[in-house]
Structure 1
Amino acid sequence: MTSQPLESRGLDRARDDRPAPDAGDSILIVDDEPEMLSFIERALAPHFARVETAADAGTARTLARDLHFDLMIVDIRLQGSESGLALAREIRDRHQVDLDVIFVTGYADVYDESDALRDASADVLRKPFLADQLLAMIQRARERRRAAREQALIQREHDRRPVAKRIVGESESLKEIWRTIHRLAPMPSTVLIKGETGTGKELVARALHDLSGRRGSYVPVNCGAISADLIEGELFGHLRGSFTGAHQARNGLFSHADGGTLFLDEIGEMPLPLQAKLLRVLEERRYRPVGGNQEIPINARVIAATNRDLAAEVLAGRFRKDLYYRINVVDLRVPPLRERRGDIPFLAGYFLNVLSTELGVPNAALSPWDLEQLMGYDWPGNCRELRNVIERSLLLGKPVAHLLCVTPPQAPGASESDLGSAGPASLEQVQRAHILSALAAAGGNRTVAARALGVSRKTVERKLKEWSQPDDVSVAD
Structure 2
Amino acid sequence: MNNNRYPSFGVLLVDDEASFLRSLSIALERLGGINNIYRCDDSRQVMDMIAREPIGLVLLDLTMPHLSGETLLQQIVEEHPEVGVIIISGLNQLETAVKCIRLGAYDYFVKTTEEGRLIEGVRRAIQLQEMRQESQAMRQRFLTDTLERPDVFADIITQDKGMRSVFQYLESISTSSQPVLITGESGVGKELIARAIHTLSNGNGALVSVNVAGLDDNVFADTLFGHQRGAFTGADSTRAGMIEQAAGGTLFLDEIGDLSLPSQVKLLRLLQEGEYYPLGSDRPKRIRARVIVATHQNLDAKQQSGEFRKDLYYRLRIHQVTIPPLRQRKGDIALLLEYFLTEAADELNKNKPTIPKELPVLLANYEFPGNIRELRALAYDAMSQHRSRMLSMEVFRRVLSQEIPQPDTDLTKPLFNPDQPLPTLQEVGELLVEAAMERAQGNQSLASRLLGISQPALSKRLKKQQP
Q: Distance in 1 between the 2:439 and 2:400 partners?
A: 25
- The one-letter code of the counterpart of 1:256 is Q
Per-residue displacement from partner, 1:9-45 (whole Å, max 9, x unpaired)?
A: xxxxxxxxxxxxxxxxxxxxxxxxxxxxxxxxxxxxx
Q: Does 1:186 align with 2:168?
A: no
Deviation at 1:427, TM superposition (A): 9.5
Which residue in the other structure is 2:249 paired with? 260
- Normalised by the length of structure 2, the TM-score is 0.52
Q: Distance in 2 between the 1:427 and 1:263 partners?
A: 43
* Runs (5+) with no aligned partner, structure 1: 1-160, 408-420, 434-477
- The one-letter code of the counterpart of 1:381 is G
Higher relative contact order (CA 8 A, sep 6+): 1
Deviation at 1:296, TM superposition (A): 0.9
Which residue in the other structure is 2:314 paired with? 325
Match of 1:370 among 359, 364, 376: 359
Contact 2:361 2:441 in 1 (8 A): no
Report matched runs for 1:16-95 at 5 Å. Answer: none
Q: Does 1:198 align with 2:187?
A: yes
Question: CA 1:328/1:382 → structure 2, altered by over 3 Å: closer, same or farther?
Answer: same
Deviation at 1:207, TM superposition (A): 0.6
Deviation at 1:239, TM superposition (A): 1.6
Which residue in the other structure is 2:397 paired with? 402
Deviation at 1:211, TM superposition (A): 1.2
Which residue in the other structure is 2:233 paired with? 244
Question: CA 1:263/1:347 → structure 2, altered by over 3 Å: closer, same or farther?
Answer: same
Q: Distance in 2 between the 1:404 and 1:338 partners?
A: 16
Question: CA 1:221/1:307 → structure 2, altered by over 3 Å: closer, same or farther?
Answer: same
Q: Distance in 2 between the 1:238 and 1:286 partners?
A: 15
Report matched runs for 1:296-445 at 5 Å. Answer: 296-397=285-386, 398-399=392-393, 400-406=395-401
Question: CA 1:253/1:427 → structure 2, altered by over 3 Å: closer, same or farther?
Answer: closer
Deviation at 1:401, TM superposition (A): 2.1
Deviation at 1:225, TM superposition (A): 5.2
Q: Distance in 2 between the 1:192 and 1:428 partners?
A: 35
Contact 1:216 1:261 in 2 (8 A): yes
Deviation at 1:374, TM superposition (A): 1.1
- Normalised by the length of structure 1, the TM-score is 0.51
Which residue in the other structure is 1:280 paired with? 269
- The one-letter code of the counterpart of 2:282 is N
- The one-letter code of the counterpart of 1:191 is V
227-236 or 245-254: which moved more?
227-236
Secondary structure, aligned partner of 1:323? helix
Q: Distance in 1 between the 2:179 and 2:222 partners?
A: 22
- The one-letter code of the counterpart of 1:241 is G
Q: Distance in 1 between the 2:226 and 2:361 partners?
A: 51
Q: Distance in 2 between the 1:244 and 1:360 partners?
A: 50
Deviation at 1:258, TM superposition (A): 0.8
Q: Distance in 1 between the 2:281 and 2:160 partners?
A: 50
* Runs (5+) with no aligned partner, structure 2: 1-149, 387-391, 403-431, 445-467
Aligned residues: CA RMSD: 2.7
Per-residue displacement from partner, 1:379-436 (whole Å, max 9, x unpaired)?
A: 00111111111111111225342342539xxxxxxxxxxxxx999x969956899xxx
Which residue in the other structure is 2:141 paired with? none
Deviation at 1:372, TM superposition (A): 2.1
Contact 2:230 2:236 in 1 (8 A): yes
Per-residue displacement from partner, 1:220-244 (whole Å, max 9, x unpaired)?
A: 1111154544221111111222222
Which residue in the other structure is 2:221 paired with? 232
Contact 2:184 2:324 in 1 (8 A): yes
Which residue in the other structure is 2:163 paired with? 174
Contact 1:261 1:303 in 2 (8 A): yes
Which residue in the other structure is 1:214 paired with? 203
Deviation at 1:302, TM superposition (A): 0.5
Deviation at 1:338, TM superposition (A): 1.2
Q: How many residue pairs are counted as aligned between the two chains?
A: 259
- The one-letter code of the counterpart of 1:219 is V
